[in-house]
Structure 1
């Protein structure tokens, strides 16, 4: 597994000018750190919104492994993480039997850009897609 996850590992910095937000305001700045802890992939996200509010979040899962039960936010019950080919790392979050969020992390051919297409389905409201572009930190 670590051979497949290797290209995704590292710290990624959000390029707000290359990103598109259907839901929410673009943050002032954001970073995404992806680490491998003996097969468990740890995602750490840090964000500063336009008003200066700092948000930090983390989650972990095993790619192509069992679904992970979540209870922290109450918004979702479980999450799964899987590889789709060599350049896409995809997570699905669900509430009950309904998938309410999908995040497709696509790595560029040269490994310097990570494009995250995240779709959120708000039941009985609408679906929104944010496309965030991250550049590998030097």
Structure 2
């Protein structure tokens, strides 16, 4: 079942800024990622404090291995999908007009204590940037 595949990813994750690598922008001073299961819907909540002290909160939800979800008027992207690449890798893709503009691969360590998020942003006709964020499971 999808819930069983999602279970190892659930919980609160704390960013390790020193272990993270950013090609685009500065790594945040601190960040948390919370992944919850709401009756088969994966809910992602991100909170971060930038190097300048600016607080950002964001969230999204999607059904793992479900259909692509059409998004409202965000402007940048119009659809999102969430799929399991394998039992330890959960991938989200933000798309516009069928093209993937942002892809985030969340890879769980073998012991389930570390979540490495490799996020690639494709700026059409410009370049692609990859940020690698390393999170550790909150105690």
TM range (shorter): over 0.9
Question: For 1:125 and 1:82, how far apart are their aligned partners in 2?
Answer: 27
Q: What's 2:58 paired with?
A: 57
SS at 2:95's partner residue? Answer: strand
Alpha-carbon offset, residue 11 of structure 1: 0.1
Q: Deviations over 1:2-37 (max 9, x none)?
A: 111000000000000000000011111000000000
Unpaired stretches in structure 1, ≥5 consecutive residues = none
Query: Displaced runs of 4+ in structure 1, greater than 3 A?
Result: none
Aligned partners of 1:66, 1:24: CA distance in 2, in Å?
31
Deviation at 1:70, TM superposition (A): 1.5
Alignment partner, residue 122 of structure 1:
123
Structure 2 segments unaligned to the other structure (5+ residues): none
How big is each residue's C-alpha offset from its partner over 1:60-106, in whole Å with a ceiling of 9 and x where there is no partner?
00000011111253110001000111100001111112111110000
- TM-score, normalised to structure 2, is 0.97
Aligned pairs, number: 138
Tell me which residue corresponds to 1:66: 67
SS of the residue 2:86 aligns to: coil
Counterpart residue number, 2:22: 21
- Cα offset for 1:121? 0.2
Select between 18-27 and 70-79 the one with higher mean Cα deviation. Answer: 70-79
Give the Cα separation in 2 of the matches to 1:135 and 1:128.
23
